[in-house]
């Protein structure tokens, strides 16, 4: 019996010391892991945030460039007939959109969908404006029709998409 008591006197403090060491090591490793995660997030932010800002700038530029007012002013409608200007405007919108397709990686599904909807609304506006004109209409007639239809619709889809992009970027600041 004395032997068991002596053995317990040795094993019990050793067990307590081992358990204490285990807690210290686990705590140390946990804190080191947290430090590594914080460092990784900091590095990630330093790299990804400028790229996201650039993507937001490009999407805002896309949305501004496809606004009917800016789109028509860049194309010089005096030089073309409506039949020539319409496909050119559609090609400009599609080219702008295709050029910025990769930016969807940096934004939520909702924001990208708003951008797509804005592009589709502009294409619809261009098509409706062309359909309302006669076959031999001038480019200026098409431009006037686009402006008139644009005023009726107020370009809400473009404004909404711009707000979505800006609000998503503001989440990171």
What is the per-residue pLDDT across 123-147, written as a single tens digit (0 to 9) for each?
Answer: 999 999 999 888 888 989 999 999 9
Q: What pLDDT band is residue 119 in, cutting at 50, 70 and 90?
A: very high
pTM above 0.85, yes or no: no
Q: What is the pLDDT of residue 7?
A: 86
Q: What pLDDT band is residue 155 in, cutting at 50, 70 and 90?
A: low
Q: What is the pLDDT of residue 44?
A: 77
Average per-residue pLDDT for the chain: 91
Q: What pLDDT band is residue 43 in, cutting at 50, 70 and 90?
A: confident
Tokens representing 153 are: 């619709």
């Amino acid at each position: 019996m004395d032997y068991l008591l002596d053995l317990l006197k040795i094993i019990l403090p050793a067990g307590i010391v081992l358990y204490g060491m285990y807690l210290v090591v686990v705590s140390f490793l946990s804190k080191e892991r947290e430090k590594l995660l914080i460092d990784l997030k900091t590095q990630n932010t330093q790299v990804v945030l400028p790229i996201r800002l650039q993507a937001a700038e490009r999407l805002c530029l896309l949305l501004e460039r496809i606004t009917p007012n800016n789109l028509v002013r860049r194309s010089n409608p005096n030089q073309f007939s409506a039949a020539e200007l319409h496909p050119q405007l559609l090609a400009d919108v599609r080219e702008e959109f295709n050029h910025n397709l990769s930016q969807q990686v940096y934004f939520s599904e909702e924001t990208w969908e708003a951008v797509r909807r804005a592009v589709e609304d502009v294409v619809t506006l261009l098509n409706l404006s062309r359909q309302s004109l006669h076959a031999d209409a001038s480019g200026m007639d098409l431009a006037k029709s686009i402006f008139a239809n644009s005023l009726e619709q107020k370009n809400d889809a473009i404004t909404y998409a711009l707000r979505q992009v800006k609000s998503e970027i503001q989440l990171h600041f």
